[in-house]
């Protein structure tokens, strides 16, 4: 799909990967971009910069995605690309002590928001002959490791939904991609919202190969404009780990358990 001339909605568009995607879409000639975020003030600042529409919304609330799509259609007439990007993690280290209410909220934001988005935009995409769903998931959707449990199972669940969508709607012209990065220097890792290009602080750099969201957005847009990519993996080693896991699931669990124990021992 060529991004030029398209109308895109990006949730979590006020910061990090979402903001970078919104800006990259405009740079590639998108005809309209909706910046949706819990943080209305920063959604507005990003929308002003790119000449888009800001919508304050909580994608975990019932009806929020439907209202967002209605606002996008009222302004631009249609939605060609829906990026379900908003997401967050339960705190690492809390594990099973996290409350069920917190897991339920995480499920609404990280998983069910993707379902609500598909319900809101896909029927019209099919009628018009096509559209694009981009889900920002995580390497944690493919391989569990140090990430928190709620983050892991919600990202896995969202991957399952995306796979189902790709299998059932691909022939109807709806393309589905899942962005599964490892570490990206965004608000999740303390990047301030108001800085455009910043050096990765040493404490974040120590986490391994750390990418900037602006570079991830270029990778994503290139992939969207290329042959149908289901998984978009800006860190190639995520794909290698995923293949190793598929080849020997039990051995992979054993090795990951040992690696985590070494990490936790310092």
Ligand X SMILES: NC(=O)c1ccc[n+]([C@@H]2O[C@H](COP(=O)([O-])OP(=O)(O)OC[C@H]3O[C@@H](n4cnc5c(N)ncnc54)[C@H](O)[C@@H]3O)[C@@H](O)[C@H]2O)c1
- The residues that touch ligand X, with contacts defined as CB under 6 A, are 11-12, 14-18, 37-39, 57-60, 85-88, 109, 136, 138, 181, 183-184, 186-189, 213
Whether 138 is catalytic: yes
- Verify whether residue 76 is a known catalytic residue: no
Least CB distance to ligand X at residue 261 (A): 23
Strand order across the 131-136 sheet: 53-56, 32-37, 7-11, 81-84, 131-136, 174-179, 231-232
76, 151, 185, 242: the catalytic one is: 151
Strand, helix or coil at 132?
Answer: strand
Nearest distance from residue 193's CB to ligand X, in Å? 7
Please, which residue, 26 or 183, has the CB nearer to ligand X? Answer: 183
DSSP string, 21-87: HHHHHHHTT-SEEEEEES-HHHHHHHHHHHT-EEEE--TTSTTHHHHHHHHHHHHHS--SEEEE---
Q: Is 242 annotated in the active site?
A: no
Which residue in 15, 84, 138, 177 is the catalytic one? 138
Cα 119 to Cα 113: distance, rounded to the nearest angstrom: 10
Q: How far is the CB of 129 from ligand X (least distance, A)?
A: 29
- How many angstroms separate the CA atoms of 217 and 212, rounded? 9
Q: Measured from the CB atom, is 88 or 230 closer to ligand X?
A: 88
Q: Which among 155, 169, 177, 185 is annotated as catalytic?
A: 155
* Residues noted as catalytic: 138, 151, 155
């Amino acid at each position: 799909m060529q991004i030029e001339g398209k109308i895109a909605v990006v949730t979590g568009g006020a910061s990090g990967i979402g903001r970078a995607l919104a800006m990259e879409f405009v740079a590639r000639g998108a005809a309209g971009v909706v910046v949706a975020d819990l943080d209305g003030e920063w959604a507005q600042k990003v929308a002003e910069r790119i000449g888009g529409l800001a919508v304050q919304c909580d994608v975990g609330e019932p009806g929020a995605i439907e209202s967002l799509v209605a606002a996008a259609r009222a302004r631009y007439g249609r939605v060609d690309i829906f990026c379900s990007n908003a997401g967050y993690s339960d705190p690492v280290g809390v594990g099973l002590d996290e409350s069920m209410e917190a897991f339920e909220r995480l499920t609404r934001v990280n998983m069910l928001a993707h379902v609500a988005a598909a319900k809101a935009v896909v029927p019209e995409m099919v009628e018009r002959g096509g559209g694009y769903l981009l889900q920002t998931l995580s390497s944690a959707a493919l391989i569990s490791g140090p990430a928190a449990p709620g983050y892991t199972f919600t990202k896995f669940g969202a991957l399952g939904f995306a796979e189902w969508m790709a299998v059932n709607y691909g022939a109807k012209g709806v393309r589905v991609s899942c962005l599964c990065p490892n570490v990206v220097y965004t608000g999740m890792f303390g990047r301030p919202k108001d800085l455009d290009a910043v050096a990765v602080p040493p404490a974040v750099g120590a986490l391994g190969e750390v990418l900037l969201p602006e570079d991830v957005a270029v990778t994503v847009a290139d992939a969207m404009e290329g042959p149908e990519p289901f998984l978009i993996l800006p860190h190639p080693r995520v794909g290698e780990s995923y293949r190793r896991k598929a080849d020997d699931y039990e051995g992979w669990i054993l090795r990951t358990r040992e690696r985590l124990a070494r990490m936790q021992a310092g």
